[in-house]
Amino acid sequence: MSTQSKRSVASLQINPSHRTRLIKNGYSTVADIQAVSAEELSRDLGLSLEDANTIIAMTQPQSHVPLYDALASVGPSASQRTQITITGSQTAAALLKVPASATALSLGANAIDELLDGGAIRGALLEISGVPGSGRSAAIRSVIASAIKTGHEVLLADSRGDLPAESLRETTVLTRDSVTQPSAGLHHLRITSLPELLSFISTLSQYCADHSGVKLVALSQLSYHVQTSAIPPQARVKLLTYIKQQLTKTCGTGQVAIVATTSMAVKLIDDEGQPANFSTGTKALLVPTLGDGFSLASKTYRLILGRHPHDGQRFARLVTAPDRTSQSKTTNFMLKNGFMVGVET
């Protein structure tokens, strides 16, 4: 048994009440936790599945994913890997003089921008979830157009092929990123597998450091390869934890705004609101596919797009925000020519 597995539960940096429940239910070492699934741990401790996943994630050693291996066209050359220089860096005092809203990128609808404290903000993650046809791709197009119009470069990683290069030619002059075209307005990358996604995420912060003109990172259908790949629950938790670590690192520079779209999944709960299965569940909820696994606690805005059942009016609901007083606010919007616009437009 490894040293990591022999660690006492008391040494885990988790919620104290969760630690107490673990000990009371006979979990004394990390190995005890790793021996059960998230569902079993959730039932044993009387916690939500999300809390159980968080506990399991804290028992895992930090993942070490090789950088630059499968995405050489995006990452820097071998000679550059040990020479990391973040261009255009500023002191904290200088950054504090500029309100976040002053550099925020619009999503095309003023009411939605107001929900988000101005739009997509540098140094923060905006997750946009919804069912097919809810307007996720339109939101990505709108924020890309806003960034390009402002004179910024954009890095777009498309996991499902919803935003092919051809469909964006009317938004901006699209060119593939290369050594001969370093000032391309939009750097477009098609992600075709989970390993490619991991490699891309691994190189993301370095790529942004090497391309100081990039102010927006758009991750279209980030959940697609995670959702469709046959990976066990514990590996999925480790994967989301790794993605969160890399996005935190990228956001930490304050250089870019990250906008990611994800799909929705059905979550079954019982009468007490606890996770359930098809036999015990009494209610079904639509929730973001990735849950809270990759969200950056103090830097995440989560927006859910949908339609009112009676009149079909499109709406956006803010369900997570750094300032918790902004949560659970809703506004309406429309789609026009593939872009998000306000109802007043």
Strand partners, 315: 306, 332
The answer to whether residue 124 scores a pLDDT higher than 50 is: yes
How many of the other CB atoms lie within 10 Å of CB of 342? 17
Q: Which residues contact 232 (CB under 8 A, 6 or more apart)?
A: none
The pLDDT, as a whole number, for residue 171 is 58
Distance CA 38, CA 295 (A): 18
For residues 229-251, average pLDDT: 84
Q: In the block, which residue shows the tokens 């500023």? A: 90
Q: Which residue has the higher pLDDT, 309 or 159?
A: 159
The C-alpha atoms of residue 220 and residue 137 are separated, in whole angstroms, by: 7
Which residues lie across from 188 on neighbouring strands?
A: 156
Which tokens sit at 280? Answer: 């015990």
| Residue 228 pLDDT grade (very low, low, confident, very high; cuts 50, 70, 90) | confident
Which of 97-101, 195-199, 307-311, 325-329 has the highest average model confidence (pLDDT)? 195-199
Domains in the chain with CATH codes: 3-58 (1.10.150.20), 78-341 (3.40.50.300)
Work out the pLDDT band at 294, boundaries 50, 70, 90.
Answer: low
In angstroms, the CA 146 to CA 143 distance is 5
DSSP letter string over 37-65? -HHHHHHHHT--HHHHHHHHHHTSPPP-P
Cα(332)–Cα(210) distance, integer angstroms: 38
CB 316 within 8 A of CB 305: yes
Poorest-pLDDT segment among 53-67, 91-105, 229-243, 304-318: 91-105
Q: Answer whether residue 19 shows pLDDT above 60.
A: yes
Q: What is residue 316's DSSP assignment?
A: E
Q: What is the mean pLDDT of residues 108-122?
A: 93
Cα–Cα distance for residue pair 205/200, rounded to 1 Å: 10
Q: Give the range with max mean pLDDT: 120-129, 231-240, 281-290, 297-306.
A: 120-129
* Tokens standing for residue 89: 């860096």
Tell if the pTM clears 0.75, that is, is over it: no
3-state secondary structure of 91: coil
pLDDT of residue 227: 82
Rg of the chain, C-alpha, whole Å: 21
The CA distance from 141 to 124, in Å, is 19
Query: What is the spatial distance between Cα 284 and Cα 337, in angstroms, rounded to a whole number?
Result: 34
Q: Which helix (H) or strand (E) holds 26?
A: none
Nearest C-alpha neighbor of 36 from the set 24, 49, 18, 20:
49
Quote the longest CA-to-CA distance of the chain. Answer: 63
- Taking the C-alpha atoms of residue 72 and residue 153, their distance in angstroms, rounded to an integer, is 20
| Helices assigned H by DSSP within 216-335 | 224-228, 233-252
Rounded distance, CA 226 to CA 219, Å? 13
